[in-house]
Structure 1
Amino acid sequence: MNDAVPPPGSAPRAEHAAPTADDDALRATPEYAPAAPAPLDVPRTPTGNAEVDARLERLADADHLTTDGHAEVYEDVHRGLRDALTALDARPGPPGPPPTPTHRQGS
């Protein structure tokens, strides 16, 4: 039994029919083979913040994955960068001005 699917628009061929020129053309066509993952070689300029730079370097991991694997890397990097920014907000800043004394009149 032949499990091959005929190309769209062609009539089904009997299993024992003689080969045709169309059959030869189909055999000569290379099978679909997507290209292997290739690095994008996008430059990553260091920021000077070790935590942020480490997260940005993680983007290079996507260079060796197929497209469907990129989302996991991007989400991980995004989460790490968001955490780094949140940590900046949580750090105590310089001390504010001293409180001004309140004076009550009539005391």
Structure 2
Amino acid sequence: MSDTESPWEEAAPQAEPDDDPAAPAPLGVPRTPTGHAEVDAHLERLGDADHLATDGHVEVYEDVHRGLRDALTALDARPGPPVPPPPYGPRS
């Protein structure tokens, strides 16, 4: 240590990247598969937010929301089973 250095400058430990409490960290929230491949892929995309700073979460959440909304809209667009005819003809 030189005469111009303070003894406190050396004593201050440098934070390791892994020790930063504000660093992105996985939340550990389990994602249960739904059995629908497209929906499961969107839910897995939520894991991308685990490695981003908080300000990056919005983009991931909006992307997943848009994908899930599109998947639900596609279900509405599919034709359902044919409607069975009425059991009896119209009576007058």
> TM-score normalized by structure 1?
0.61
Structure 2 residue aligned with 1:8: none
Please state which structure has a larger fraction of its residues in helix. 2
Tell me which of 55, 71, 80 is aligned to 1:68: 55
Distance 1:34 1:97 in 2: 61
Amino acid at match of 2:29: V
Task: State the 1:34 CA deviation.
Answer: 5.8
Distance 2:71 2:65 in 1: 10
Task: State the 1:70 CA deviation.
Answer: 0.1
Q: Does 2:33 align with 1:46? A: yes
Greater RCO structure (CA 8 Å; 6+ sep): 2
> TM-score normalized by structure 2?
0.70
How many residues are treated as equivalent by the alignment? Answer: 76
Tell me which of 52, 74, 78 is aligned to 2:65: 78
Q: Does 2:90 align with 1:98? A: no
- What is the percent sequence identity of the aligned residues? 80
Structure 1 residue aligned with 2:3: none
Amino acid at match of 1:73: V
Task: State the 1:101 CA deviation.
Answer: 6.2
SS of the residue corresponding to residue 52 of structure 1 reads: helix
**Root-mean-square deviation (CA), in Å?**
2.4
Distance 1:43 1:96 in 2: 40
